[in-house]
C-alpha cells in the first residue's frame, strides 16, 4: 500500500494534483467567503473551519466511494438522444443553486446598504442555515474535483493526501480572502459575478457543452486585476 512512496511518478502526480485541487477549490473559497459574511463576526472563524473540513471530508468520502462516483457518469435515462447521468443532474442543480444564491446576494447588498444608511444594522443568517448551504456546494465542487483526481491518478492514498494538503493550504488562505472581499464591496460584487459565471459553466457541463476553465479563470483574473488597480489608485488619491 505504501509502495508509491518510492515512486517518483507518484510524487509528481501528488504535486500536480495538489495544484489542481487548489485551483478547482478557488470558486469554493470565494463562495465560502461570501456566505460566512452573513454570520456575526464571532461565528465566522468557526464556520470557515467547519466549511473547509466538510469540503475535505466530502471529497475523501467520494474518493473512497470510487465505484459510485464512476457510476455517476453512466446514463440514468435519455431525453431524445441526450444521455442524462447522475453527474449531469448534480452539476445542473448545483449551477442553478449558485446562480440563485449569487443573484440573491447581489440583491441583498443593495437592500443592506439602504438599511445601513437608516439604522446601521445588518441582518445575519442562522449558523445552521449557512452550514447547510456550504454542505450543498461542497458536494457540487467536490464532485468535479474528485472526478479530476480519479482521471489523473489511480493510487487512492495519493488522491486522499492531495485533498488533505490542498484543504489545509486553503484553510490558511481563506481568512485573508474573506477579509479582503468583505472590506471591498466592489470586489464582493465581482466575486458574486464570478459565481454566476461558474454556475453557468456547471449548467453547460451538465449539458455536455464544455467551456474551457482557462477562459473563465483568465476572465476573472483580468477583471480582478483591473479592480485591484482601481482600488489602489483611489487610495493613492485619498492619501494625497
Residue 135's domain comprises 8-71+83-116+127-239
Rg (CA), the chain: 19
Q: How far apart are CA 228 and CA 206, in angstroms?
A: 33
How many domains does the structure of the chain reveal? 1
In a domain, 1, yes or no: no
In a domain, 122, yes or no: no
For residue range 22-81, list pLDDT tens digits in order.
666 666 777 777 777 777 877 778 887 887 787 778 777 777 776 566 567 778 888 888
For residue range 12-22, list pLDDT tens digits in order.
767 767 766 66
User: Could you give phi then psi for residue 51, rounded to 5 degrees?
Assistant: -60, -45
In a domain, 121, yes or no: no
In a domain, 218, yes or no: yes
Mean of pLDDT over the chain: 74
In a domain, 16, yes or no: yes
Q: How far apart are CA 31 and CA 8, in angstroms?
A: 35
Q: How far apart are CA 177 and CA 52, in angstroms?
A: 14
In a domain, 24, yes or no: yes
Given this model, what pLDDT does residue 147 score? 63
In a domain, 3, yes or no: no
Given this model, what pLDDT does residue 71 score? 66
Given this model, what pLDDT does residue 189 score? 78
For residue range 117-164, list pLDDT tens digits in order.
555 555 566 777 777 777 777 776 666 666 656 555 667 777 778 878
For residue range 75-109, list pLDDT tens digits in order.
888 888 888 888 788 778 878 877 887 787 777 76
Burial (Cβ within 10 Å: 0-12, 13-18, ≥19) of residue 107: exposed
Amino acid at each position: 500500500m505504501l509502495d508509491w512512496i518510492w515512486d517518483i511518478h507518484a510524487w509528481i502526480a501528488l504535486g500536480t494534483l495538489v495544484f489542481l485541487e487548489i485551483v478547482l477549490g478557488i470558486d469554493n473559497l470565494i463562495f465560502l467567503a461570501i456566505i460566512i459574511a452573513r454570520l456575526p463576526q464571532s461565528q465566522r472563524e468557526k464556520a470557515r473551519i467547519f466549511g473547509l473540513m466538510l469540503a475535505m471530508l466530502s471529497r475523501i468520502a467520494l474518493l473512497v466511494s470510487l465505484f459510485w462516483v464512476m457510476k455517476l457518469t453512466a446514463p440514468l435515462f435519455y431525453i431524445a438522444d441526450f444521455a442524462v447521468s447522475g453527474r449531469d443532474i448534480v452539476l445542473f442543480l448545483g449551477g442553478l443553486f449558485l446562480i440563485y444564491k449569487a443573484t440573491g446576494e447581489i440583491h441583498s447588498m443593495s437592500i443592506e446598504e439602504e438599511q445601513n444608511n437608516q439604522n446601521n444594522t445588518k441582518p445575519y443568517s442562522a449558523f445552521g442555515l449557512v452550514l447547510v448551504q456550504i454542505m450543498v456546494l461542497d458536494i457540487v465542487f467536490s464532485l468535479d474535483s474528485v472526478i479530476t483526481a480519479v482521471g489523473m491518478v489511480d493510487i487512492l492514498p495519493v488522491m486522499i493526501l492531495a485533498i488533505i494538503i490542498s484543504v489545509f493550504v486553503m484553510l490558511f488562505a481563506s481568512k485573508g480572502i474573506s477579509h479582503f472581499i468583505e472590506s471591498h464591496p466592489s470586489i464582493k460584487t465581482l466575486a458574486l459575478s464570478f459565481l454566476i459565471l461558474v454556475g453557468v459553466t456547471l449548467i453547460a457541463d451538465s449539458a455536455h457543452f464544455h467551456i474551457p476553465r482557462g477562459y473563465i479563470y483568465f476572465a476573472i483574473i483580468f477583471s480582478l486585476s483591473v479592480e485591484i488597480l482601481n482600488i489602489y489608485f483611489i487610495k493613492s488619491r485619498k492619501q494625497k
